[in-house]
Structure 1
Amino acid sequence: MNELVTKIRVHNEDFFVASTIERCPKSMMLRELVKNALEAATSAPLGSRRVEINACLVNGVRKLRIWNTGLGMNAEELFRMCDIASSIGKMQGLDGNFGMGAKVASLPSNHHGVRYRSCRDGRVSEVLLGKRNGVYGRVLRRDPLTGEPSAVVDVTDAVKIEGGETASDWTEVVLLGNRESQDTVADPYDGNPKVPKWWLQLGLQLRFFQIHGDVDVLIGPDLHDLPGVRSFIPMARIVGESFARWDTVQVADGVKVHFGHDPIHPERSDVNASFKDSFSRGISLAGLLYADEIYEVRMWGGWTSEAPNYGISSHARHVSLLVELADDYPVQPEGYRQFLRYKNGAQDQVRMMDFAAMVRANHPDWLREMMRSASPDQALIGSVKQQLEKLIAALGLKRLRPQFRSPPQAPKPPAPVSEKVQAPAPVQPPVQPKAESDTKPTASKPPEDKAKEPPAPKESLEKVEDFEEMPELLLLRSPQEVADRNLRYRAARFYPESHQLYVNLLYPSVQQLVEQLVVLAPLKASPVLVGAAARAAAENALVLRLGRAVVYGLAKRNAAEGWSEAEKKQVLSSEVLTLIADDLPLAFAAAKDFFDQRITQIAREAAESRPAFEEMGAA
């Protein structure tokens, strides 16, 4: 009894339970169910630790089944396990098990029922959780042993008839969905959202970086496109066995950055070399790695379009990036484990972008060299660069740069999965923002009052004035490069974090300007040389006016009044830059001057070289 306070109680229990369940993101269902099964399986003897994910038939309809070895639950324990904030045989605490994972995450998509069975000492108990008449709870059914309605029923005989084993302990969860006719193998969320056939393998790989405890995860043939039962392959194994490079840079504050290189597949251009089948799809990705689980995942186009923020200007389709936070880093999963929060301060969500500067400062040598080798067009860039530098100087353009402070030191994290550890770059690490599972007797672990102080909030950084640098220009000429930057229908994109401007040289206004210039050439000029001159002029005009637009946009950044923060960002948006690229009359005069100079140069060179002159005349 507490003599200092009266406990806060739940007045409307039905509303509290329903709101807790229905606010849970549906996407967390797979993570919670599999995490429970993995933890329970570690209680089984070595060699028999197993999790099986497959299909079973319930009244002739396929339902998703997750089954694991390990210590089972008796009827009383199974009953208790179904309550919110209840778990069996685990320590409860904000840093670990919250006691409301799998059941809460499963019920939003399974109103018809989530069937739990557990075998303990040869007896199998069953509970059906569901929603009836607007209330979530254990569905009452007739117990075959007593004939009375009961929340927990003995189904030992039924399991034996079905061919199930009772000689050893196990636990099973079957998802019945929202309807009796719902196939929860192919459609686990009842169409909202829809999922591809390989949703389960990809969902597991994008969450569980590695599996501990010698647990074998087996996936049945109904859940993939290969014959027979297959073992799940976690990302740690893929990067270790199939990537060309997987290197780690250890930085100073409990963070390490993993860089992976997965070259293009020798026979297929749409996947990387690690591709084997649906269990190893050959894709690049990025995310936060904490306690061997991946958060903030980016992949495919979502990753390639964001990669420049991390200084990865090219080859993002073949480069993977994981920022790993040590176990004692001052973060914790939010209530539904969908993302991480900083422990102190305003408890902001932890974002990949919080570590962008740290990543940019610590690229491994092979990545730097790979990007350098993919930077052509130095002549064009050099010409534009000189003019933009003059403009920046004329405007006296300056910016406020943060004076970073070093965050508190953290104990060294566990040994990396990587094959090589590279020393960090000699720069200060960036300052970070301010800052369950269900299934041995339950004990409570109070949250620690003193969490390790997280790095200072961004707002508290001192800032120093410095001259602005010219943005790095990166010119995209291939359809794949354009698609990777999400610029198929845009002319350019500026990345303020990395101070880079990507220009789409396949944008239609370039060809339109080329066609306008070609008709102005002398009749005797070589079409090939004229076309090259016109394209060079059109590209120069596009890059120059987009570069000037970015410089003027940066000049508005320090405007004291008249410009909101949203407006300052908008002037540098891809949409505004595209409108500037569409204004051909604005570009025509400068492009024509450039073109005329090139044609004059071609004519002069032709006059000095008879073979070249004859080639032009013949054309």
Structure 2
Amino acid sequence: MSAEPLQIHDARFLINRLIEQAPTHTLVREFFMNAQENAALAPVGHREVRVYPTLIDGVRKLTFWNTGPGMDDSELRTATNLSSSINKPMALDGNFGIGAKVSGLTLNPAGIRYRSCKNGIVHEVTIGYDEDEQTYVRYPVEFEDGTEDTVYDVTSAVLLAETNISFDWAEVVLFGEDDGHDTVSRPVGTNTGVERSYVTSQVFRRFSAFQPGVVVRIDVSMTKGGGKGETGRFRRLKPLSSVIPELPNAETVTCLDTEVSVHYVHDPKHSNYSHSISALKNPATQSTTFCALVHKDERYDIKNKKRWSAAAPNFGIPFGSTVLTVEIILPHKMALPNQYRDGLTSPEDRSPLTVEHFAATVRELMPEWVKEVIRNAHPPSDDNLDDLQHDLQQLLDEFKVPTIAFGPSKALPDRVENVDDGNDESEQIEGDRLDEGDEGILRSIRHKTRRATQKNVRKAPEGAKLSKESKALERVPTIEILTALEDIEAKGIKGRAGKFYKDAQTLFVNGKYSAVDRMAAELEPSFIGQGEPEEVRALVLKAAQRFTAFRVGKATCYAISKRLVDDWSVDDLDRATSPESLSLAADDYRQSVNAARKWVRTELKLSEVEKVD
């Protein structure tokens, strides 16, 4: 007896589940992808996709139209089955034959109308939900003689509407939730409002390139710019790849080991307009910088606007995310789309792939011109934090915490094994302890007022570098104090003292955190009448910010040291350096008040000396 292939026992239940569990945000992707793939099969020069409103009983319905091989009645019937496709092979890494139908029907139970012109004959079918059948069906129509069918010839009807049938084409109209649903203004549900250019933006963001030779045109009622309330005029939509030559700089760098490529794009605002250069070159849509995975010309896990600004430091971009786009281009064999194509998975274990998995690659491959853009985007500051970083490094060195790079495994471990045997807690080595009141940041202040001593640090000879032992110890994070409200909001630390990006080893401190203001208010009365009031106030605020940064940095160093403790998991370490935990450390500002007063007094004395000179 031969093997028996498995069958679907309850096909109706399976179909209903596939449709009703489908994500709604993939709707535009699915219908556009079908349209452009079919258009790419048309003769060169006749490959076109259009998106526009169709009036059905006075209500606008979202419509996708394309050139390319048409379908007859038999093919149209087959195409509206699940796991079925015409002119495209089915494959796990290719076409599934269900995407547009399942994501379309979950949002359009009232129906999806398909029309296709083949050899001058136009056939039509409408699929949707049938209450009586309690499932999704092809709706039948009744003819004058009383017969019924689900796929039928509408050539005469389209000729009355003066539609061209001299070449093959296909059209899909989305009816929505009911007859009164305007699927142009609310394509993802009657209760979900979207911007006018939602469909256009979805196409632009999802596709890094269109099929060869395909031209995409969107009705002006659905694009940026003029034309709101109009219809019948079209704007051409171009992918970002088409406008790259117009931008200041762009470069693709490939990792030879993994074949992963990173596309870095500099897309600043135009000098005369508030829009980015790419947006001006592509007026149909709003173009903003982003980070995304790219697989077979489609983007996944897209982070833009605030999500990109908040994530960018992990990719080596602490500043400049508003003018830098990063596309992480994966080899075909490295990823597979998931069932509904709203994410990528690893072929080995089907675990989700995200942009964060490739943050180290983005940092390592980063060209020098990108680093220069980042440096230029750094907020101006006259505050040197080298002394603060130095003191925190000394504190961290006491714990002898090895870097992950020098851990026993080349893979990123959950934790680094202890460097000593039998330690249950982080154990400090013998040595001088830092006293924030007498040493710490104040050491650099005293250096400013003394002549050279034997302890002065000399410059290293040209070509010298850190010893292997020094490099093996964890380096203290780079501290950035943010004072601009837009920077604070972009990093997601409004109302928080700071945020630690462990992969990029960067610690952002909120210079406007409430504890900073409270500390400054307590310090200021001590210096009334000791200088120009505004200068004193500025110095006091700077002291409050610096010592808040020191407390937050110290808490981060203590948290990093817990890598040596077996009982601390990765989740525990992350919680210890969470913005909320760092905020608690910052709130204890009174421990720093005396040291801050000394710092301000010293700075005031130096200021007086400079004025005399």
State the TM-score, normalizing by the size of structure 1.
0.84
SS, match of residue 531 in structure 1: helix
Query: Which is further off, 458-467 or 183-192?
Result: 458-467
Matching of residue 32 in structure 1 with residue 30 in structure 2 = yes
Matching of residue 393 in structure 1 with residue 397 in structure 2 = yes
Q: Counterpart in 1 of 2:202? A: 203
2:483 to 462, 471, 477: 477
Alignment of 1:331-480 (within 5 A): 331-344=335-348, 346-373=349-376, 374=378, 377=381, 380-401=384-405, 466-480=472-486
Contact 2:254–2:262 at 8 Å: present in 1 too?
Answer: yes
Alignment of 1:79-94 (within 5 A): 79-94=77-92
Q: Counterpart in 1 of 2:497? A: 491
1:597 to 587, 602, 605: 602
How many angstroms apart in 1 are the aligned matches of 2:136 and 2:289? Answer: 41
How many angstroms apart in 1 are the aligned matches of 2:418 and 2:524? Answer: 49
Alignment of 1:181-580 (within 5 A): 181-224=180-223, 225-227=225-227, 228-241=233-246, 243-252=247-256, 253-268=258-273, 271-276=275-280, 278-327=283-332, 329-344=333-348, 346-373=349-376, 374=378, 377=381, 380-401=384-405, 466-561=472-567, 563-580=568-585
SS, match of residue 128 in structure 1: strand
Change (3 A) 1:36 1:553: same
Change (3 A) 1:578 1:503: same
How many angstroms apart in 2 are the aligned matches of 1:98 and 1:463? Answer: 45
Same amino acid, percent of matched pairs: 29
Contact 1:311–1:360 at 8 Å: present in 2 too?
Answer: yes
Report deviation, 1:97: 1.1
SS, match of residue 278 in structure 2: coil
Deviations 1:88-112 (A, max 9, x none): 1221111211111211120000000
Report deviation, 1:221: 2.1
SS, match of residue 93 in structure 1: coil
Deviations 1:447-495 (A, max 9, x none): xxxxxxxxxxx67999897411111112222222222212232221100
How many angstroms apart in 1 are the aligned matches of 2:98 and 2:320? Answer: 42
Contact 1:553–1:568 at 8 Å: present in 2 too?
Answer: yes
Q: Counterpart in 1 of 2:63? A: 65
Alignment of 1:52-131 (within 5 A): 52-131=50-129
Query: Which is further off, 42-51 or 569-578?
Result: 42-51
State the TM-score, normalizing by the size of structure 2.
0.85
SS, match of residue 91 in structure 1: coil
Report deviation, 1:602: 4.3
Contact 1:51–1:68 at 8 Å: present in 2 too?
Answer: yes
How many angstroms apart in 2 are the aligned matches of 1:550 and 1:262? Answer: 34
Matching of residue 139 in structure 1 with residue 145 in structure 2 = no
How many angstroms apart in 2 are the aligned matches of 1:378 and 1:399? Answer: 31
Contact 1:402–1:461 at 8 Å: present in 2 too?
Answer: no
SS, match of residue 166 in structure 1: coil
SS, match of residue 281 in structure 1: coil
How many angstroms apart in 2 are the aligned matches of 1:111 and 1:160? Answer: 28
Query: Which is further off, 53-62 or 92-101?
Result: 92-101
Change (3 A) 1:169 1:282: closer
Q: Counterpart in 2 of 1:176? A: 175
Deviations 1:595-617 (A, max 9, x none): 233334445666x56xxxxxxxx
SS, match of residue 298 in structure 1: strand
How many angstroms apart in 2 are the aligned matches of 1:200 and 1:366? Answer: 34
Deviations 1:12-63 (A, max 9, x none): 1110001111121111111111111111112222222211110011111100
Report deviation, 1:207: 0.8
Q: Counterpart in 2 of 1:19? A: 17
Which stretches in structure 1 are left out of the alignment for 5+ residues? 406-429, 432-457, 610-619
Report deviation, 1:341: 1.1
Q: Counterpart in 1 of 2:160? A: 161
How many angstroms apart in 2 are the aligned matches of 1:57 and 1:593? Answer: 75
SS, match of residue 277 in structure 2: coil
Contact 1:18–1:135 at 8 Å: present in 2 too?
Answer: yes
Contact 2:204–2:285 at 8 Å: present in 1 too?
Answer: no
Deviations 1:559-604 (A, max 9, x none): 212x444332111001121232233323323222322333344456
Change (3 A) 1:256 1:312: same
- Amino acid of the structure 2 residue aligned with 1:177: G
- Amino acid of the structure 1 residue aligned with 2:288: I
How many angstroms apart in 2 are the aligned matches of 1:375 and 1:232? Answer: 35
Change (3 A) 1:367 1:381: same
Change (3 A) 1:579 1:462: closer
SS, match of residue 72 in structure 1: coil
Contact 2:291–2:325 at 8 Å: present in 1 too?
Answer: yes
Contact 1:398–1:468 at 8 Å: present in 2 too?
Answer: yes
How many angstroms apart in 2 are the aligned matches of 1:266 and 1:463? Answer: 52
SS, match of residue 243 in structure 2: helix
SS, match of residue 288 in structure 1: strand
- Amino acid of the structure 2 residue aligned with 1:513: M
Deviations 1:344-387 (A, max 9, x none): 1x221111111111111111111222333437657531121121
Deviations 1:133-180 (A, max 9, x none): 121111121146x64121112212221222222222211100000110
Contact 1:142–1:153 at 8 Å: present in 2 too?
Answer: no
Contact 1:143–1:152 at 8 Å: present in 2 too?
Answer: no
Change (3 A) 1:177 1:502: same
Structure with more relative contact order (C-alpha pairs < 8 Å, separation 6 or more): 1
How many angstroms apart in 1 are the aligned matches of 2:531 and 2:260? Answer: 61
Report deviation, 1:273: 3.3
Q: How many residues align?
A: 550
Query: Which is further off, 283-292 or 531-540?
Result: 531-540
Contact 1:143–1:153 at 8 Å: present in 2 too?
Answer: no
Change (3 A) 1:143 1:332: farther
Contact 1:130–1:138 at 8 Å: present in 2 too?
Answer: yes
How many angstroms apart in 2 are the aligned matches of 1:165 and 1:382? Answer: 72
Which stretches in structure 2 are left out of the alignment for 5+ residues? 228-232, 420-471
Query: Which is further off, 19-28 or 477-486?
Result: 477-486
Report deviation, 1:404: 10
SS, match of residue 513 in structure 1: helix
Contact 2:414–2:570 at 8 Å: present in 1 too?
Answer: no
Deviations 1:499-532 (A, max 9, x none): 1101121223323322322211152522133223
- Amino acid of the structure 1 residue aligned with 2:82: I
